[in-house]
């Protein structure tokens, strides 16, 4: 009964939010399949039609789970010489929160320019003493879209981006927040499975630009100069672009980017998503891909999830996908918080974006697109290792789920606009 009342209350909130939101036209028609991912026209479309220029000469290294992610991020901060910029959705307490606060504070005391942007909703659990400590030591800490009586309409627009840029030369992006759940090595249900990425090369300037756009929106201050945008030499051989979206300047661009990639696929699509709630156009696009002979595999959270309503809403949509031949897999050991899409062993998109309406329409998001077969091959190996720890749900399994579960799924799908 309590769950039913909670869902009804959430529905009321959803209706309120939808009416607060800007009335903008969404992508309503399936994108036509015109060329494959390895066609130069696809690259031109991704660069000119949708996003920033694809730049050569980058190196992207994957970091799997907190035991590898956090030490790399902290090492970069502690080695900073001029600037540190950090934007994140979740910054809570615990030992890892203290370590980041101490590292950022030490660099600010050393005279560096250190800027931290925390989402006001995502970081409501932050230890206020850590914020006071950072500010006391010279770190400029600001909150993105704090609650104000005069701007209630923007309350549903959160920055979900995870960006760390050091000296304008080293960037990090991916799925992790600063909280105890992301520590460890996904060894039990208390320690989540996630990936993050260390980036060097010219695309880091695009990462810096994405972070600074929200900084200027929040503070009214434009940060620029060589300390933030130094000359960047090639660091590797990977073409890449930093793709971003925001309701303030084109919330549909992330969805269109992913739909264009799905539409171009000829062989394989692998999707890892912590929250997988595709809209009607995305559902059609995935089914059409299977009809073209594309193998489509999706990994989402299983029994361990921080968002039961999202899981119910997701499972309620699986019927047409499973019937078409899409492989659905639920990760079993712990919460699965990864966000990744690999298309035809060439394009890999990683970052903060989930495959759901909130990421596509409401949040500020940022994804790194890497056009490199070797990187895609490595990330496919990571995907398949996760697949070994996931349970495949067949169409017959889906049809046999209990009646009560079907009711919860039906009710949860009413919340799709804000999930």
Q: Please, are residues 11 and 414 in contact by the beta-carbon 8 Å criterion?
A: yes
Give me the helix-helix angle, 403-413 and 308-315, nearest 10°: 100
Task: Give the active site residue among 115, 191, 196, 339.
Answer: 339
| DSSP string across 99-166 | HHHHHHHHHHHTT-EEEEEEETTTTTTS-HHHHHHHHHTT-EEEEES---GGGGGGTT--B---EEEE
CA–CA distance, 178 with 169 (Å, rounded to integer): 22
**Closest by alpha carbon to 387, among 299, 269, 266?**
299
**DSSP bridge pairs for 350:** 340, 368
The question of whether 339 is a catalytic residue gets the answer yes
Task: Give the active site residue among 113, 115, 145, 162.
Answer: 162
Q: Please, are residues 352 and 271 in contact by the beta-carbon 8 Å criterion?
A: no
Burial of 217 (0-12, 13-18, 19+ CB in 10 A): middle
The question of whether 406 is a catalytic residue gets the answer no
**DSSP bridge pairs for 173:** 163, 197
CA–CA distance, 180 with 188 (Å, rounded to integer): 13
User: What percent helix, strand, coil does the chain show, rounded to 5?
Assistant: 40, 25, 35
Burial of 127 (0-12, 13-18, 19+ CB in 10 A): middle
Q: Evaluate the CA torsion angle 302, 308, 313, 319 in order and state its sign.
A: positive
Task: Give the active site residue among 113, 160, 244, 361.
Answer: 160
Return left, alpha or beta for 342; rule: phi > 0 is left, psi -120 to 50 is alpha, else beta. beta
Task: Give the active site residue among 113, 115, 119, 167.
Answer: 167
Task: Give the active site residue among 119, 194, 270, 344.
Answer: 344
| DSSP string across 354-392 | -BSHIIIIISBEEEEEEE-HHHHHHHHHHHHHHHTTEEE
CA–CA distance, 81 with 92 (Å, rounded to integer): 26
CA–CA distance, 189 with 262 (Å, rounded to integer): 32
The question of whether 337 is a catalytic residue gets the answer yes
The question of whether 344 is a catalytic residue gets the answer yes
Helix (H, G, I), strand (E, B) or coil at 94: helix
Task: Give the active site residue among 145, 329, 337, 361.
Answer: 337
Residues identified as active-site: 160, 162, 167, 337, 339, 344
């Amino acid at each position: 009964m309590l769950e039913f009342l909670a869902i009804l209350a959430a529905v009321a909130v959803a209706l309120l939010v939808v009416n607060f939101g800007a009335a903008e036209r969404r992508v309503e028609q399936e994108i036509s399949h015109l060329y494959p991912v390895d066609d130069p026209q696809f690259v031109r479309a991704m660069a000119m039609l949708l996003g920033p220029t694809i730049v050569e000469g980058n190196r992207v290294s994957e970091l799997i789970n907190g035991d590898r992610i956090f030490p790399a991020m902290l090492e970069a901060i502690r080695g900073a010489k001029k600037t540190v910029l950090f934007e994140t959705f979740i910054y809570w307490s615990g030992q890892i929160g203290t370590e980041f606060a101490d590292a950022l504070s030490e660099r600010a005391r050393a005279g560096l320019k250190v800027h931290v942007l925390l989402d006001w909703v995502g970081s409501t659990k932050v230890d206020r003493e850590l914020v006071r400590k950072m500010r006391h030591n010279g770190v400029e800490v600001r909150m993105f879209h704090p609650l104000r009586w005069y701007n209630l309409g923007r309350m549903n627009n959160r920055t979900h981006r995870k960006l760390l840029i050091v000296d304008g030369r080293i960037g990090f992006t991916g799925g992790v927040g600063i909280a105890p759940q992301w520590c460890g090595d996904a060894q039990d249900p208390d320690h989540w499975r996630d990936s993050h990425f260390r980036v060097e090369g010219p695309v880091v300037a695009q990462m810096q630009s994405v972070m600074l756009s929200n900084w200027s929106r929040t503070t009214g201050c434009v940060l620029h100069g060589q300390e933030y945008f130094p000359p960047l030499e090639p660091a590797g051989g990977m073409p890449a672009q930093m793709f971003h979206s925001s309701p303030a300047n084109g919330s549909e661009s992330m969805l269109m980017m992913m739909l264009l990639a799905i539409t171009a696929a000829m062989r394989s699509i692998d999707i890892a998503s912590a929250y997988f709630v595709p809209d009607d156009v995305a559902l059609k696009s995935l089914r059409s891909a299977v009809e073209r002979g594309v193998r489509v595999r999706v990994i989402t959270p299983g029994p361990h999830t921080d968002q039961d309503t999202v899981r119910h809403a997701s499972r309620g949509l699986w019927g047409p996908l499973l019937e078409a031949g899409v492989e659905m897999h639920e990760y079993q050991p712990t919460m699965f918080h990864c966000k990744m899409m690999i298309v035809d062993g060439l394009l890999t998109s990683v970052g903060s974006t989930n495959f759901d309406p909130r990421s596509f329409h409401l949040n500020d998001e940022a994804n790194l697109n890497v056009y490199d077969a070797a990187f895609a091959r490595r990330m496919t190996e990571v995907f398949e290792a996760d697949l070994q720890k996931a349970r495949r749900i067949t169409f017959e399994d889906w049809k046999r789920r209990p009646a009560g579960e079907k009711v919860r799924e039906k009710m949860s799908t009413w919340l799709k606009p804000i999930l």
